[in-house]
Amino acid sequence: MDVATNRVLTVPNAISAARLVMVPVFAVLLARRQDVAALVVLAVSGASDWLDGVLARRLGQVSRLGQLLDPVADRLFIVVTIIALAWRDVVPVWLVVVLLARDAALGVVQLVVMRGGWAPLPVHLAGKTGTLMLLYAFPLLLLAQILGSAPQVVTTTVAGLGWAAALWGVGLYWTSGVFYLVQARRLLGSTA
């Protein structure tokens, strides 16, 4: 297991910071209907989420800042992306509600845990995988809309892959949410 350091200037942290900068860029591109450019930003962001973790471990640059910055960048990108895609009618509103409800609930849990003097709950594999699936799904769903005039088999296949990833992502996202709630309950119950 990698030990987190107090280093700030690391390659993985720079990648996570760049992903944070890409959030408003994506939103503006999508609002201006520059869908291909928005798709590229979205795909690069998803790839950078994977890359920063790999580099942190391989370069021995796991840091406390990175452990905070990476999930914040993920959450922010997912929230902005899902709202922007719903605004553009790429995804239905129920998907926004389901994802935001989980993030809101866990945000409250994290605040309670941290207020009790504990460190934030560690990221769970189901949460990481759910996030990965969502970051894979969103570009596919946007691509399916961009390909609207392509042969139906192409758009249906791309949309089908996107929805399969989205539904798996939602399931894993909520599964990890249950794990976090159980962890928090145990932690808070240990002091009662």
Instruction: Determine if residue 117 is left, alpha or beta; phi over 0 gives left, psi from -120 to 50 gives alpha, anything else beta.
Output: left
pTM of the model: 0.84
Backbone angles phi, psi at 121, to 5 degrees: -60, 140
Q: What is the reported pLDDT for 1?
A: 54
Reading the block at residue 54, the tokens are: 């790999």
User: Is there a contact between 170 and 98 (Cβ–Cβ < 8 Å)?
Assistant: yes
Which residues are within 8 A (CB) of 49 and not within 5 positions of it... i.e. 6 or more apart?
A: 19, 70, 73, 74, 77, 131, 132, 135
User: Is there a contact between 141 and 162 (Cβ–Cβ < 8 Å)?
Assistant: yes
Q: What is the reported pLDDT for 4?
A: 67
Q: What is the reported pLDDT for 166?
A: 97
The burial class, CB within 10 Å (0-12 / 13-18 / 19+), for 33 is exposed
Which segment of 1-5, 72-76, 183-187 scores lowest on mean pLDDT? Answer: 1-5
Give tens-digit pLDDT for 145-176: 999 888 999 999 999 999 999 999 999 999 99
Q: Band the pLDDT of 48: cuts 50, 70, 90.
A: confident
Residue with tokens 């905070």: 68
What gap in Å lies between CA 157 and CA 173, rounded to an integer? 24
61 vs 15, higher pLDDT: 15
In this predicted structure, the answer to whether residue 142 has a pLDDT above a threshold of 60 is yes
User: Is there a contact between 138 and 41 (Cβ–Cβ < 8 Å)?
Assistant: no
The radius of gyration of the chain from alpha carbons, rounded to an integer in Å, stands at 18
